[in-house]
């Protein structure tokens, strides 16, 4: 009983702060660095932010517009590749968009990569949405995909724009077929 009261007492200030519309951890410059400014056209709708997400990582070998990429994400956003290793194990990896830029940047400088959305199932409740976005990845726009899978994209709206809060993805493989919402 005492532990429960202590836990409630410790969590109450955080709950009150988050419930207060004038308090926002995302806007406190001392806690979280601000992402680059987003192009309003990229973040005005769920369709536009998902399109921008695929566009910004796609292209011939070379640099990507990483400021545009980072501008799509909420502070403290996460990315989680849930793709099995060759031995079948599935490590839980959670990285930040900034860490993705470091790893992805090195890969994309040397490799062409084109990813497109090929189907979507969307659930939305107010300012929260989850898109199960079926993707196809190619080395050239006119080639057959070398892989495909699903990006589970959690999106939030702050009254002014959409943000990507998280992306977790997995690939289609034996025993895990393409979902029914594939185009």
Q: What is the average per-residue pLDDT within 67-85? A: 96
- C-beta of residue 79 within 8 angstroms of C-beta of residue 93: no
Q: What is the pLDDT of residues 13-51, one digit of tens each?
A: 443 444 444 444 445 555 667 889 999 999 999 999 999
Q: What is the pLDDT of residues 134-143, one digit of tens each?
A: 999 999 999 9
CA angle 43, 102, 65 (to 5 degrees): 40
Question: In the chain, how many H helices and how many E strands?
Answer: 5, 5
Three-state SS at 126: coil
Give yes or no for residue 54 having a pLDDT over 90.
Answer: yes
Burial 50-80 (b: 16+ CB within 10 A, else e): bebbebbbbeeeeebebebbbbbbbbebbbe
Q: What is the pLDDT of residues 142-176, one digit of tens each?
A: 999 999 999 999 999 999 999 999 999 999 999 99
Q: Say what percent of the chain tops pLDDT 90.
A: 78
Report the distance separating Cα 169 and Cα 182, nearest Å. 15
Q: What is the CATH number of domain 35-171?
A: 3.10.450.50
Give the DSSP per-residue string, 25-86. GGG-TTTSPPPPPPPHHHHSSHHHHHHHHHHHH-BSSS---HHHHHHTEEEEEEEEE-PPPT
Give yes or no for residue 107 having a pLDDT over 60.
Answer: yes
Domain boundaries, the chain: 35-171
What token pair was written down for 163? 């943000």
Least confident of 56-60, 166-170, 176-180: 176-180
Q: pTM, whole model, 2 decimals? A: 0.83
Q: Which one, of 83, 68, 57, 58, lies nearest residue 150 by Cα?
A: 83
Question: 105 — alpha (psi -120 to 50), left (phi > 0) or beta?
Answer: alpha
């Amino acid at each position: 009983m005492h532990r429960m009261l202590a836990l409630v007492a410790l969590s109450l200030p955080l709950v009150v702060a988050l419930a207060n519309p004038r308090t926002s951890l995302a806007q406190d410059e001392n806690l979280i660095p601000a992402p680059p400014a987003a192009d309003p056209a990229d973040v005005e709708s769920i369709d536009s932010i998902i399109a921008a997400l695929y566009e910004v990582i796609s292209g011939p070998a070379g640099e990507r517009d990483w400021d545009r990429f980072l501008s799509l994400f909420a502070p403290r956003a996460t990315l989680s590749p849930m793709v099995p290793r060759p031995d079948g194990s599935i490590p839980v990896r959670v990285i930040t968009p900034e860490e993705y830029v470091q790893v992805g940047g090195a890969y994309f400088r040397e490799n062409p990569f084109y990813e497109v959305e090929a189907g979507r199932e969307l659930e939305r409740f107010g300012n929260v949405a989850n898109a199960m976005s079926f993707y196809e990845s190619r080395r050239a726009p006119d080639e057959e995909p070398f892989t495909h899978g699903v990006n589970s994209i959690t999106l939030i709206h702050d009254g002014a724009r959409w943000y990507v809060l998280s992306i977790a993805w997995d690939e289609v493989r034996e025993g895990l077929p393409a979902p029914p919402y594939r185009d």
